[in-house]
Amino acid sequence: MKQLLSILLFMFVFSSHAAEPKDAQQLVKSVSDKILQEISESRTLYAESDKALHGLVANVILPHFDFHKMAKIVMARSWKGMTEAQQVSFEREFRQLMVRIYAKALLEYDGKEVQFLPIRVNTNRDKVIVRTKISQSGRSGHGGRDGRGEFLMAYYLYLNEGFWKVFDIRVEGISLLKSYRDRFSRQARAEGVDAVINDLVEKNRKADDRQEEVSAANESG
């Protein structure tokens, strides 16, 4: 699951300016091509500079995610019992976690073939599922359900004040948010919400420290 996400999360890049359901798929296609071209043309820069890569992710990709909605989904029943300060802290740290995941995914993308399937739209036409099939040809041991190295990815978007926003991603039917929700819910019940937040803070801090060490090594080299 983690490997699939790190390989495929690059597809979450898109513009949210089109409000028609039929436009969501085209937007995913066109802007994904644009961001991948940027990575391809400046791969050395982004491979050596986490700051530049994270800036690209934060400025281009993440504005089109609804992290407030995602945070509420992830924390489930615990959300209503959290103070405003806890909610703000969790949303901030969860967003930083996503920045690191998406940044890694962009660098690991290596030209896999992506086929877009017909979109699915709800009755009110305010939610869209953009479905794709990704070919993993040439890699043994990572086959999808069909055994031919193909994986299904689905991007769940909803209309928020005239803009399409991502609120979940599913790999072979497995929800990214549900994976985190199960983990955080267990920890919140056992140790409390502050423990969940503190662990996220610590993991993000350690990741930042490692990035600084790598950057310093690259500069000295």
What is the CATH classification number for the domain harbouring 68?
3.10.450.710
Interval 39-87: pLDDT, tens:
888 888 988 888 888 888 888 778 888 999 999 999 999 999 999 999 9
Which residue type, as a one-letter code, is found at position 69?
A: K
Q: How many independent structural domains does the chain possess?
A: 1
Q: Return the minimum-mean-pLDDT range out of 32-36, 93-97, 125-129, 159-163.
A: 32-36
CA distances from 85 to 62, 79, 80, 155, 182 (A): 22, 12, 12, 30, 22
The structure's pTM equals 0.78
Interval 139-169: pLDDT, tens:
444 445 444 578 888 889 998 888 888 899 8
Is the predicted pLDDT of residue 18 greater than 60, yes or no? no
Is the predicted pLDDT of residue 220 greater than 80, yes or no? no
Interacting residues of 207 by C-beta distance below 8 A, sequence separation 6+: 100
| Half-sphere CA count of 149, side-chain side, radius 13 A | 11
| 157 strand-pairing partners | 128, 166
Where in the sequence is the domain holding 96, given as residue range(s)? 2-220
